[in-house]
Amino acid sequence: MSRTLVKFTCKLCGKQQLVNVTLARTRKYCSYACRDESRRIPRKVVICKQCGREKLKDNYLKGQFCSPRCASLSRVHLPLTAEQRQRASIAGRLAYMEGRRVSGGGNRSRRTTYGSICFRSRTEARVAELLDRQGVSWVYELKRFDLDSTTYLPDFYLPDLAMYLEVKGYIEGEKVPLFREKYPELKILVVFQRTVDATWRGGGALCLQMSLV
């Protein structure tokens, strides 16, 4: 039984072949190489706005940074003025009245909005406000660290002081000692809820002096 052959043209390279008429109806490319090349996503060179490094990115990605770290550093929070702090406080109260602030039961923290950032707890938001009062720049949750058996994400990074700041309830927990042990070259200061609340209510300043443990 003879097969009917027809001329087939590859959609990518234009190469012509004689193939079975049934196959010609479904085939688009002359080889797997042409098929894979047609599926390859076009890429473009992006210059990172933070560090100036060049990186190839897919065309459909609209990022302007080479990494999540550079994206976070570009959002370093500069201290708010007194007027901006007042507006942020009013916006937070309105969000609470409108039900946009999430409240958890039991020991769960209450998410709180300060400025344009939604913090995981009210204490963290108060720390951000205290840092603004003191004129200290900060970045919220800049980098996650690998601790072998788990990971750790410090609450704040203070670029002016080159140190991390962790906000805790009443105990330090297990991750901070592990972080100090694995990354002895990095500085981290732990502040507790009782100290933050007393400082925030009294209008004082956080003590950012630390002794390395």
Strand partners, 138: 77
| Residue 125 · residue 119 · CB < 8 Å | yes
pLDDT tens string for the chain (213 positions)?
Answer: 457 888 888 888 888 888 888 887 888 888 888 887 777 766 677 788 777 788 776 655 566 777 777 776 666 665 667 776 677 666 665 665 555 544 444 444 577 888 778 888 889 999 998 998 888 999 998 888 988 888 899 999 999 899 999 998 887 778 899 999 999 999 999 999 888 888 888 888 888 875 433
Residue bearing tokens 């090349």: 37
Residue 93's contacts (CB-CB under 8 Å, 6 or more residues apart) are none
Q: What are the backbone angles phi and psi of residue 113, rounded to the nearest 5°?
A: -95, 130
Q: Which of 37, 91, 139 is nearest to 28 (CA)?
A: 37
Q: What is the largest CA-CA distance in the chain?
A: 96
The ranges assigned to domains in the chain are 5-39, 41-74, 76-202
